[in-house]
Structure 1
Amino acid sequence: MLLLCLAAGLRGQGLELGMLLGASSYYGDLAPDKIGEHLQFVHPTYGFYAAWHFDNPFALKLQWSRGALSADDARTSIRSHQKRNLHFYTNLSELKLTGQLSLPLPKWLGLGRRWRTYLDAGIALYHYEPRARIDGRWYDLRPLHTEGRGLPGYPDQYANTQLAIPLGGGIQYRVGRFFTLGVHLNLQRTFTDYLDDVSGRLADPNLLVKTMGSEAAHRVYRNDPDAMEVLLGRFGESFEPPLRGNPDSNDHYWLGGISLSLKNLTLKKLFMKEAVCPSLF
């Protein structure tokens, strides 16, 4: 009780609890160039968050989100992508902690104190598992070692739970005393080029056959069987498998949408109601 009273005495602070509905989108090696084509690969997203507003322009926000990412070379207008003919789909789960900085609105806008704009940045932990449809069935791509990651002579397998840096902002409108409506958008800058399982060159088919069997090797080379036949038997020679991505550029993803929240919830309002705190001095 005493701790609650002490916390309730921190004037100007308050808790915000909210839910969000929005969209997620991917940007990487399989992304199309045209905005209209990007819209084909926008997926619904939902989530929940809690934010603590300090007695200054700052706030801390913890948010969990669930969405999906995808792309398909067959549905773009880029000829080289159509020839490559790759695709992927992954569910996406994200937990992120961000700091928010409220920005003053120009008075000439005449929006009043009900409006709030902010910028935010922080750190996110996300989980993904890229998959592809092969011969009518969906397969996880990491276990196929499509680019040799995790096989002898290649780098370690990429992790499917990683960190990202979210950057973005939003705007909120206070409806009544406690409710707020908001719009937000964040770019998650990742440290991987494998959201889509595509980065550089395919693994050597000889090694795939040796370590995983011919059936798995044919799944990896499903879109370029001629190249596989040429490469088979040439393991150890200076002949590289086809390049299918840009290893010098990481993948990223967007999360955005609308939110509805309860704001200005202090500990006193939540737990104490009309309780009288004892005097300490």
Structure 2
Amino acid sequence: MKSLKYIFIAILASVLVYSPAKAQIHEVGIMAGLASYKGEMSQYFPNLHQIDNIANRIAVGAFYRGNFSRSISIRGNFTYGKVDGTDANGTDFISQQRGHFFQTDLLELSAQIEYNFRDFRRNLKFPETWTPYLFVGVGGMKMSPRYNLLPTYDLYSITIPIGIGMKFMLNDKLNLGMEFGARKTFTDFIDDIGVNVDQAGTPRNPLYFTGNTADNDMYFFTGFTLSYVMPIPKRLCPIKIKTF
């Protein structure tokens, strides 16, 4: 997928090239939480109607954040998540007839813009110690279906992350955050539904496996972040020469 390669290049360029000339606060951090999914096997979020079909699985990641103004931060993310589901626990008619199960690993590289509602950490003497924030961005995602070793569909998709979070100043060096982010994708195959034959080549019933191509799958990351505030290098003071 050529367009996805260009997205990756643009993300790396936005994170690495756009470094401020003025002294600003840089952060590096980690994320840990849960990944969930919305698609043919889970048509609602939260999944109240099909809660037995879908399990929340682990999501972990690393990120860099640059705080380039009082309100705007730029963040680059590398995130891994796993989503899965099974019709074995379903009570509706379609689940019982379909009998499908899936497990898919997701690798995401993304860049996002964060809008901070408060003047977080900017005043060194009396800093704002917390702020809510919104974010939106663009990224690329690679799927790895564990139960379909010979997928016939594209495993890559552009993603659009959008979400909300809250971050807190623990001390001069550490920030703690909580956030929820949804990922709009341009694929309908995260759940491996939409394929007309199984891995063994046996035809699937199109009544249950066609999928809704007008409604692409989505996935969600919910979790905590912990970031380290990188110290600003002190500039060398000019040497005073004593005169006589």
Cα deviation code 1:216-244 (max 9, x no counterpart): 323x54xx6xxxxxxxxxxxxxxxx5352
2:215 corresponds to which residue? 249
Q: Residues of 2 paired with 1:31 and 1:39: CA distance?
A: 8
Deviation of 1:55 after TM superposition, in Å, equals 2.4
Alignment of 1:75-154 (within 5 A): 75-104=89-118, 113-132=128-147, 139-142=148-151, 145=152
Residue 195 in 1 paired to residue 190 in 2?
A: yes
Q: List gaps (5 residues or longer) in structure 1.
A: 1-6, 106-111, 133-138, 146-157, 209-214, 225-240
Residue 217 in 1 paired to residue 221 in 2?
A: no
2:9 corresponds to which residue? none
- Normalising to structure 2: TM-score of the pair? 0.76
Residue 26 in 1 paired to residue 20 in 2?
A: no
Residue type of the alignment partner of 1:250: N
Deviation of 1:95 after TM superposition, in Å, equals 0.8
8 Å CA contact 2:60, 2:81 repeated in 1: yes
1:212 corresponds to which residue? none
8 Å CA contact 2:118, 2:128 repeated in 1: no
Cα deviation code 1:58-93 (max 9, x no counterpart): 010001111111111112232212211111111111
What is the CA RMSD across the aligned residues, in angstroms? 2.7
Q: Secondary structure at the match of 1:197?
A: coil
Q: Residues of 2 paired with 1:80 and 1:72: CA distance?
A: 12
Deviation of 1:10 after TM superposition, in Å, equals 1.4
Residue type of the alignment partner of 2:219: Y
Q: Secondary structure at the match of 2:95?
A: helix
Q: List gaps (5 residues or longer) in structure 2.
A: 1-18, 120-126, 240-244
Relative to structure 1, the CA distance from residue 32 to residue 65 in structure 2 (aligned partners, 3 Å threshold; closer, same or farther) is same
Residue 170 in 1 paired to residue 181 in 2?
A: no
Relative to structure 1, the CA distance from residue 101 to residue 38 in structure 2 (aligned partners, 3 Å threshold; closer, same or farther) is farther
Deviation of 1:129 after TM superposition, in Å, equals 2.0
- The alignment covers a number of residue pairs equal to 210
Q: Residues of 2 paired with 1:161 and 1:196: CA distance?
A: 14
Q: Secondary structure at the match of 1:217?
A: coil
Residue 44 in 1 paired to residue 28 in 2?
A: no
Relative to structure 1, the CA distance from residue 49 to residue 27 in structure 2 (aligned partners, 3 Å threshold; closer, same or farther) is same
Bigger fraction of residues in helix: 1
Relative to structure 1, the CA distance from residue 92 to residue 59 in structure 2 (aligned partners, 3 Å threshold; closer, same or farther) is same
Residue type of the alignment partner of 2:100: L
Identity %: 24
Residue type of the alignment partner of 1:10: K
8 Å CA contact 1:184, 1:258 repeated in 2: yes
1:149 corresponds to which residue? none
- Normalising to structure 1: TM-score of the pair? 0.67
4+ long deviations beyond 6 Å = none
Which has more radius of gyration?
Answer: 1
Q: Secondary structure at the match of 1:20?
A: strand
Relative to structure 1, the CA distance from residue 39 to residue 16 in structure 2 (aligned partners, 3 Å threshold; closer, same or farther) is farther
Relative to structure 1, the CA distance from residue 247 to residue 55 in structure 2 (aligned partners, 3 Å threshold; closer, same or farther) is closer
Q: Residues of 2 paired with 1:9 and 1:26: CA distance?
A: 40
